[in-house]
DNA sequence: TGCAGTGTTGCTTC
DNA sequence: CGAAGCAACACTGC
């Protein structure tokens, strides 16, 4: 789910609704949420954070890599990472005392089954809610700290991110397999399993090629494919192959344009290529690629 | 029915 | 130091 285009879709949605509002309450089903040490899983941390963010106006919402940043007045920022199965959902919710879960009042996409995994609910000053659902509870919600973003590579869709810079970043890991390196957030942010498969299919590069052996032409092809596919992902509102939803509970449409990801066994759709899409575990992730044209 | 597979990432191990 | 493996968790689908 959430790679750069999905996170950007969520952020774009939040940018339309959150600024100028403030949170009037925060609920969470402690101690079940959310991920590791300094997060909402810790009751003291939750209470402390709640006290800090309540009644402060949201100034803006931004994205850094796959991190969502909600900026409040007084220089306070809340970081939300959706990891595998997180969603931020905006709507009017109510707590069902019988079933002990939050439910959306609206009919429509927000009635989605993922509501039953809501673990955090922010009540907003317009009486609506921002709910965080997360089936696998890998997600992270915490106050932003300096070191959270320190290790991150450059933004691939930034206009200043050029081909020479792309080569320079990848060459930090000359011995790495190219698919793995593309997904490393310290090299470039935003690319995950789906988009890396699609980028390498379009560029015609085998996912297990060592970075040091990639030719200049191939570098250029990967760079172009990366910009093109991430933009396409944003344009289609993200990828809902699995459970990604935007803040209104609606699906993205990038999944209808996969050429490689989860296309195992299908004929390759590249013009006059006779290949078939293979699946292989590379670096612990399932990689999908054409048997012929990705060399 | 059981087990393999699922977007991420950070920690441990070699 | 870097690369690889695995754990965090819970569900879906074959």
For residue range A87-110, list pLDDT tens digits in order: 999 999 999 988 888 999 988 888
Closest residue, CA to C1' of C10: A136
Decide if A66 is catalytic: yes
Q: What are phi and psi of A195, to 5 degrees?
A: -70, -30
Exposure letters A13-31 (e unless 16+ CB within 10 A, then b): bbeebbeeebbeebbbeee
Is the peptide bond between A182 and the residue preceding it cis, with omega within 30 degrees of 0?
A: no
Are the beta carbons of A169 and A203 closer than 8 angstroms?
no
Which pLDDT does position A194 carry in this prediction? 96
Give the 3-state secondary structure of A56-86.
CEEEEEEEECCEEEEEECCCEEEEEECCCCE
Of A242, A233, A292, A284, nearest in space to A267 by CA: A292
User: Looking at the predicted structure, is the pLDDT value of residue A268 above 80?
Assistant: yes
Residue A26's beta-bridge partner residues? Answer: A122
Whether A146 shows a pLDDT value over 60: the answer reads yes
Strand C interface, protein residues by Cβ within 7 Å: A 32, 83-84, 113, 117, 135-138, 173-177, 180, 283-284
List the structure tokens of A85.
């199965």
pLDDT over threshold 70, residue A240: yes
In the predicted structure, residue A149 carries a pLDDT above the cut 60: yes
CA A279 to chain centre: 23
Higher pLDDT, A113 or A17: A17
On average, the pLDDT of chain A sits at: 93
A184 is catalytic: no
| Band of pLDDT at residue A156, cut at 50, 70 and 90 | very high
Strand B contact with A149 (CB < 7 A)? no
Cα angle A239, A241, A246; round to 5 = 45
Q: How far is the CA of A279 from the C1' of B6 (A)?
A: 14
A25 vs A47: CA distance, rounded Å: 11
Closest CA to A249 of A24, A9, A15, A22: A9
Calpha distance A25→A15 (Å, rounded): 20
């Amino acid at each position: 789910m959430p790679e750069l285009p999905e996170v950007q879709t969520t952020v774009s949605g939040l940018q339309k609704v959150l600024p100028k509002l403030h949170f009037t309450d925060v609920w969470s089903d402690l101690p079940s949420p959310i991920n590791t040490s300094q997060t909402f899983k810790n009751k003291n941390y939750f209470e402390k954070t709640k006290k800090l963010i309540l009644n402060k106006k949201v100034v803006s919402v931004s994205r850094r890599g796959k991190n969502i940043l909600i900026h409040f007045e007084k220089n306070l920022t809340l970081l939300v990472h959706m990891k595998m199965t997180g969603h931020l959902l905006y709507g009017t919710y109510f707590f069902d005392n019988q079933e002990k879960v939050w439910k959306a009042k609206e009919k429509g996409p927000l009635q989605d089954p993922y509501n039953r995994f809501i673990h955090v609910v922010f009540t907003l000053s317009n009486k609506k809610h921002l709910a965080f659902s997360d089936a696998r509870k890998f997600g992270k919600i915490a106050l932003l700290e300096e070191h959270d973003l320190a290790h991150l590579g450059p933004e691939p869709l930034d206009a200043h991110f050029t081909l020479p810079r792309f080569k320079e970043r990848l060459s930090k890991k000359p011995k790495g397999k190219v698919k793995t390196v593309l997904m490393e957030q310290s090299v470039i942010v935003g690319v995950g399993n789906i988009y890396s498969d699609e980028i390498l299919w379009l560029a015609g590069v085998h996912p297990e090629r060592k970075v040091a052996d990639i030719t200049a032409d191939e570098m250029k092809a990967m760079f172009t494919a990366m910009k093109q596919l991430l933009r396409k992902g944003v344009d289609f509102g993200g990828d809902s192959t699995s459970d990604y939803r935007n803040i209104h509970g609606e699906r993205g449409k990038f999944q209808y344009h996969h050429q490689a990801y989860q296309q195992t066994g299908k004929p390759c759709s590249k013009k006059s290529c006779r290949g078939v899409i293979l699946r292989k575990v590379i670096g612990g992730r399932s990689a999908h690629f054409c048997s012929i044209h990705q060399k």
